[in-house]
Each structure stands twice: as structure tokens, then as C-alpha cells.
Amino acid sequence: MFKNQTPQQLSFFIAGISAAAIAVLLLLLKASGFLRVTWPEVLGLFALAFAVAFIANYYLVRYFIFRRIKLIYKIIHRQKLPAEFKAGNLDMTKNVLEDVEKEVGEWADQQNLELEELERLATYRRRFIGDVSHELKTPIFNIQGFIHTLLDGALYDPKVNLLYLQRAARNIERLQTIVEDLETINKLEAGQMILDLQEFDLHDLTDDVYADLEMRARERNIRLTYKDGASQNFRIRADKESIRQVLMNLVHNSIKYGTEGGLTKISFYDLETYVLVEVSDNGIGITPEHLNHVFDRFYRVDKHRSREAGGTGLGLSIVKHIVEAHKQTINVRSSVGQGSTFGFTLEKV
């Protein structure tokens, strides 16, 4: 009965009950002869008791609720108190308790979300530090081994000195690549990389990418082709060098994980205001449990082949950040043993 009452209604009911109790007492005294009062006097005393009880309860309830709610707001709100609480003006006609209960519930939900987010970030940070340490440890260990071997006397051995210096140099280049990729991702995530938006022909850019990777594709006897009907030229608006990096990474991955003697194929699909770009291969494919993680930092589906090819495990993560920086999306679909297709959209001019 009193669950959804406003403080004013609550005061009214309490006053009514108090006045009714006094009236019953008067009637009992009148019936027993201890008190001689007329009916108008009984009604007058009832009205007076109701008025006094209402005023007393009104201010008592108001004071109690104000004190309690003010304390609750101080606990759950980081910002300043609402104006009505700060000035001490509590609207007794509103269901204040229900509003406070709702706010406390929302505050509790928000606290749970914040705790979950903090735990997620802490887990991500621990995993990221572990991944970085693991990636840096291998080339550092190799460089250390080559240099110490040279210092121990191999420097004067013409059969191994140049070989060890070349291997140390390759590992230094790998370290530099990892650091540069990490710096790129950090800038993209922090919003510090300013996109140089310009209009250019997507097909011409793809031709350039194919030309740059032609020798690498030839090493594995992989053909770089277009899907039938993809000869159309699309003018897009984007950061040309960033999109070049996206295409380079995707095509390079398709060569690295593609079947030797297979093919890499790029397709364009007209979506009115956007163009969908798809890079496909007929390689080893990606199992379902890996699909949701291919864009994670340092995540490798085939760790052995990635390390042999000198990959940092950051390429697809960079691709995802660049596409999202253009306010577009990227996705992947794959079948084991049949190949993978990476698709992303770009805004047309």
C-alpha cells in the first residue's frame, strides 16, 4: 500500500491513522462517561489532531528523507549534489524514494561495468606485456649470441664472421620492425595519427601493390590476379599511404599463407556510396577458433610459418586500426584448406 507513495501522501496517511486513533480514544472515553464532549467537539478534535499530526509527520518525514538521501547522493555521486538537495528544497509531491532506489541501482550497475572493464584492461595489459617480451626476447637473444661468439674469437674467423654479422643485422632489422609497428598501433589507438585524406584511383593503387610484391609472389609461384569484373576504376577518398599499407599487409599475408602454386585475388564491389574490397587466397585457411583473434596484437594462426617469414604478428592489427580510423569496417571469412577472404569498405568520391 505504501510502496509507491510520495512523502506527502505518506504523511497524509500517517496523520489520518494518528487522528483516527485519537478519535477512537475520545469515543471510548465518551462512551464510558469519563469524558463529556459533544459530537461537534469530537469532530473538531479529530480535525485538529489530523492537522497537527500531518504537519509534524510532514516535516519529520521530510527531514528524515532529506538527511538520508543527501548522504546517499554524496556516496554514489562524484559530481555535485542536485540543486534541490543543495538548497534543502525537497519536493514532497514526487516519489523521491523510488527515484533514489533507481539511481542507486544504476550506480551499482555502473560500478560493476567499471570493475569488469578494469579487469579486462588489466588482463589485456598483462597479456600485451607478455607478448611484447616474448617477441623482443628472440631477436635480442640471437643478437647477443652472435656478438658474444664474435667477441670470443669468431671475429677473426673468415668462415663465420661475416655470416654472424649478417644474421645479427637481420635480427636488428626485426627489432626495428616490431618497434615501428608498435609505434604505429599506439598512434592509431591514441588518435594521434592524422589521416591525409585525398582522392585517388583504387585500381591504380592496387596495381602498384601487386607490382611491389610480384617478386615475393613469384618465389612461391603464386599468381596475383583480379576477380572477373574488377577492372572498373573506383575513385575513393582516403589516406592513400595508409590504404597502401592495408593492401600490402593483406596481399603479403595471402602470399605467405597461400598454397604454393596458388593465387591471390582482389575483388571490388560497388555499394553505391562505398566500395567493398576483398583480398582472397586459396591457402591453408583459418580454423573457427582463430577467426575472432586474427586482428589481435601478436596473434599468429601459424606461428612457425610467421616466424620463418619474419612477421611481427602486428600486421592485421595495424590493418584493422587503419580501416577503423577511416570509420569503416573490416571482416574475415575462411574455410580450412580452402583459403581466406579479408574484406573492408572505403568511401567513394
Q: Tell me: domain 197-347, CATH 3.30.565.10, correct?
A: yes
Higher pLDDT, 221 or 309: 221
Contact 271, 320 (CB under 8 A): no
% of the chain beyond a pLDDT of 90: 22
Question: In CATH, what number does 125-190 get?
Answer: 1.10.287.130
Each domain of the chain, given as residue ranges in start order, spans 7-94, 125-190, 197-347
CA–CA dist 332, 341 (Å, integer): 6
Q: How confident is the model at residue 106 (pLDDT cuts 50, 70, 90)?
A: confident
Q: How confident is the model at residue 80 (pLDDT cuts 50, 70, 90)?
A: very low
Q: In this predicted structure, what is the pLDDT of residue 79?
A: 45
In SS3 terms, the chain reads as CCCCCCHHHHHHHHHHHHHHHHHHHHHHHHHHCCCCCCHHHHHHHHHHHHHHHHHHHHHHHHHHHHHHHHHHHHHHCCCCCCHHHHHCCCCCCCCHHHHHHHHHHHHHHHHHHHHHHHHHHHHHHHHHHHHHHHHHHHHHHHHHHHHHHHHCCHHHCCCCHHHHHHHHHHHHHHHHHHHHHHHHHHHHHHCCCCCCEEEEEHHHHHHHHHHHCHHHHHHCCCEEEECCCCCCCCEEEEEHHHHHHHHHHHHHHHHHHCCCCCEEEEEEEEECCEEEEEEEECCCCCCHHHHCCCCCCCCCCCHHHHHHCCCCCCHHHHHHHHHHHCCCCEEEEEECCCEEEEEEEEEEC
Q: Which three cell numbers stand for residue 290?
A: 582463430
Q: How confident is the model at residue 87 (pLDDT cuts 50, 70, 90)?
A: very low
pLDDT in tens, 128-176: 677 677 777 888 888 999 899 988 888 888 888 899 899 899 888 888 8
